[in-house]
Amino acid sequence: MDAYNNASFYNYNTIIYGHNMRDGSMFARLKEFSNEATLRQCPYFWILTPDADYLYKICSIHQASSGSDTFTVRFADYLKAEDVKFTVKGGNLAQVDQHPEIKALFEAADPTMTPASWALRYAASMEGVMIVLSGMSNLEQMRQNVKLMKDDFKPLTEADKEMLKQTAEIIESKQPVGCTGCRYCVEKGCPAGIRIPQVLKSLNMLHQYQNIHGARMGYYGAISEHRPAECIRCGSCERECPQSLPIRKLIREADDRLYAGPDYDVWANH
C-alpha cells in the first residue's frame, strides 16, 4: 500500500503496488482483467489483512502511466465533501482546560467559548469541510453544539489558529510516555498477557487531557483479560522496546491511577 494511504482504507483512493512478473506470477495476472470475458467471469478480488478481509467488485479497468493522476491519494475535488469525525477526540478535548496554561489561552482568546466549541470551530473552519460529526452524551450538549453551528459560528481567525497551535503543543508536551505503539514489547509475548501498548496509551490520555473517565474506559478495555498487577517482572518487554521505556514502572503507574476496582463500571461512570 502507498505510504500516504491510511491502512484503514478510508482514503478516496487506496493505491496498492504489486510486482508485474514476466513469468506471469504475482500481480501479472491482473492484466487478464482487460479481457472483458475474464472480467465477467470473475469480477471480484480479495484483500486480506491481519484485521479484516475485504471483498471488492471490479467496476472498471484502467491502465495508467507512472505519472498519472491515478496515483493521487486525495483529490482536491473530493475534499469539498470531506467529513470530520472524532472532532472532540472522544470527549478528550472538552477537558483540556484542566491544564491551567490551556485555560489561560482559551480565556484570553474568548472567555465565552468552551473547549469543545473550539474543537468544533477548528474542524468546521477547515477548507472543504462539509460535515462535522461530534459524539454527544446528553441533550444539553446537543443544544450547545447546534447553537454554536447555527447561531454563533465564526470561522477561526489567524490569531485563533495560532492560539490552538500553542494548545496542541502543550497537549503534546504532556505525553509522559514516548510509546510509539510499535508493539515490539508484545510481539514475543508477554508471559502475563498484558496489553502493554494499550495500557500506556491510557496513561498518556490521562496526562494529556486530564480525562479520567476517558482514560479509564481505555484502561478497562486494555485489562479485560490481564491486569498489570499480574506482571511477573521478567523484563522481556523492556529488552524489546526500541524507546527503552521503563515499562514495568509505567504499567504499575497506570494501574495505580486508573484501576478503580473489579466492579467499576466505566460506562455508568462516563
Q: Which of 84, 102, 123, 185 binds ligand SF4 (CB under 6 A)?
A: 185
Pick the closer one to ligand SF4 by CB: 103 or 257. Answer: 257
How far is 161 from 105, CA to CA, in rounded Å?
A: 12
Asked if residue 96 lies in contact with residue 171, where contact means CB atoms within 8 angstroms, the answer is yes
Residues between 222 and 251 with contacts to ligand SF4, criterion CB under 6 A: 231-237, 240-241, 243, 245, 247-248, 251
Listed ranges 1-9, 20-28, 114-122, 178-186: which one lies at the site for ligand SF4 (CB under 6 A): 178-186
**Binding status of residue 192 toward ligand SF4 by CB under 6 A:** yes
DSSP 125: T
Selection from 121, 125, 123, 128 nearest residue 82 by Cα: 128
Pairing assessment for the beta strands 44-48 and 82-84 based on DSSP bridges: unpaired
In the bound complex, what is the minimum distance in angstroms from residue 186's beta carbon to ligand SF4? 7
Q: How many residues bind ligand SF4 (CB under 6 A)?
A: 28
Listed ranges 30-38, 123-131, 150-158, 176-184: which one lies at the site for ligand SF4 (CB under 6 A): 176-184
In the bound complex, what is the minimum distance in angstroms from residue 239's beta carbon to ligand SF4? 9
Backbone phi, psi, residue 12, to 5° = -65, -25
In the bound complex, what is the minimum distance in angstroms from residue 238's beta carbon to ligand SF4? 7
Question: Which residues, in sequence order, are bridge partners of residue 29?
Answer: none
User: Which residues, 6+ apart, have CB-to-CB distance to 171 below 8 Å?
Assistant: 96, 99, 102, 208, 209
In the bound complex, what is the minimum distance in angstroms from residue 203's beta carbon to ligand SF4? 11
Pick the closer one to ligand SF4 by CB: 71 or 220. Answer: 220
Residues between 40 and 99 with contacts to ligand SF4, criterion CB under 6 A: none
Q: Where are the alpha helices (DSSP H) in the chain?
A: 36-41, 76-79, 100-109, 115-124, 139-150, 158-173, 184-187, 196-209, 212-222, 236-240, 247-258
Q: Which of 21, 58, 182, 229 binds ligand SF4 (CB under 6 A)?
A: 182
In the bound complex, what is the minimum distance in angstroms from residue 175's beta carbon to ligand SF4? 12
How far is 174 from 21, CA to CA, in rounded Å?
A: 50
The binding site for ligand SF4 (CB under 6 A) comprises 179-185, 190-192, 194, 196-197, 200, 231-237, 240-241, 243, 245, 247-248, 251
